[in-house]
Amino acid sequence: MQNRYQPPTPLKGRIDSTVDKDAFRWHQTINYIDLTKSVSYDNEQLNICFLGFCCDEGVKRNMGRQGASRGPASIRKEMANWPANYLPHACLFDAGDITCTDGDLEDAQEALAQAVDIIISKGFFPILLGGGHEIALGHFKGLIKNNGHTPAIINFDAHLDLRPVIDKGSSGTMFNQIHQICEAQNKDFNYMCIGAQTYANTQSLFNKARSIGADYILAKDISAATFDTVKEKIHQFIDDKSAIYLTICTDVLSAAHAPGVSAVQPFGLDPDNVLQLIKSIIATGKLCSLDIAEVSPRFDTDNRTAKLVAVYIYAVINSLIELRLNQ
């Protein structure tokens, strides 16, 4: 892991006060940690750890628009100035990045798995920042390294990402690869894709989903009018599961709100509908980890996509705090 691991660089941002904690912003309160060293923290609090995955190789192999390797920095820049309203109920940590600059995606995914395993072993809730959606394979491998259970996967995505692995994996093969891992280890494979576009997936991919028991909800079936029905389907999927790993590909969102993605979607989902569904998943108390992938700054007009993702992260943390306080 060490040759791909970069410890964090402190964020900078607006400072309204250096003494009034009620005026502090995230960049003034985040704790920066090195995963190769011991960490001190209060285990009575909700401890959340960010980790970036600076990688474009999976998108490149999938013939997508490259640029997501700079996504973690872009998201962090937008998060830096959020008000530190999570205090005193949570602590935020930043553990830096896993990088992939040499094209060896498989090694980078293994390094990511090791980093995720360390984060979990330290008692943190992981929030990973992509990077291409190939982040999902390394993230999942890290989640199952030392756990007795295999989390179910909920993927907000315009693509099923169940493509066959021909020679090497990409940003379109991860959940097929995860299915293969589960089969080899005799583990349950539970996967739901929310927001899949019929124009973005071949019939072969839908056939693959059905053949392995994967669930999906099409984008065309998700709207404000159908929100309750969609929410019910998601909760039916969650009901008998012990843990949920949530992964969000920003290409699930409408291009009007999220132009800075690897595969832009003109008929993507409304951001508020997605956010409300994310909150409903958190409210089950089963969420064990989260990543957000494929923010591509080179295509991101006025940093709209990065800012939207940063708002999602802000809302996720507040929802996790609310859940903890109500337990």
Q: State the pLDDT at residue 63.
A: 92
Secondary structure class of 228 (helix, strand, coil): helix
φ and ψ of 43, to 5 deg: -75, 0
Q: State the pLDDT at residue 181.
A: 97
Please list, in sequence order, all residues whose beta carbon lies within 8 angstroms of the beta carbon of residue 175, skipping any fewer than 6 positions away.
Answer: 136, 153, 155, 160, 161, 162, 191, 193, 214
Contact (Cβ atoms closer than 8 angstroms) between residue 90 and residue 47: yes
Measured in whole angstroms, the distance separating CA 229 from the mean position of its chain's CA atoms is: 24
Closest CA to 246 of 308, 280, 277, 289: 289
pTM assigned to the model: 0.97
- Tell me which DSSP letter residue 200 carries: G
Task: Write out the two tokens for 199.
Answer: 């124009």
> Does 147 score more than 80 pLDDT?
no
Instruction: Provide the pairing of β-strand 152-156 with 215-218.
Output: unpaired
Q: State the pLDDT at residue 229.
A: 98
Could you report the per-residue pLDDT of 250-304, keeping only the tens digit for each?
A: 999 999 999 999 999 999 999 999 999 999 999 999 999 999 999 999 999 999 9
Measured in whole angstroms, the distance separating CA 121 from the mean position of its chain's CA atoms is: 19
Find the mean pLDDT for residues 174-201.
97
Q: How far apart are the first and last CA of the chain?
A: 37
> Does 238 score more than 80 pLDDT?
yes
Find the mean pLDDT for residues 82-98.
97
Could you report the per-residue pLDDT of 195-206, keeping only the tens digit for each?
A: 999 999 999 999
Full residue range of the structural domain in which residue 258 is found = 2-326
> Does 71 score more than 90 pLDDT?
yes
Exposure b/e, 223-262, CB count within 10 A at least 16 = b: eeeebeebeebbeebbeebeebbbbbbbbbbbbebbbbbb
Q: State the pLDDT at residue 40.
A: 80
Model confidence at 308, pLDDT cuts 50, 70, 90, reads: very high
Number of domains in the chain: 1
Q: State the pLDDT at residue 53.
A: 98
Read off the CATH number of the domain in which 79 is found: 3.40.800.10
Q: State the pLDDT at residue 261.
A: 96
Q: Work out the burial of residue 73: count CB atoms within 10 Å of its CB; fewer than 13 is exposed, 13-18 middle, 19 or more buried.
A: middle
Work out the mean pLDDT of the chain and round it to a whole number: 96
Q: State the pLDDT at residue 264.
A: 93
* Rg of the chain in Å (alpha carbons): 18
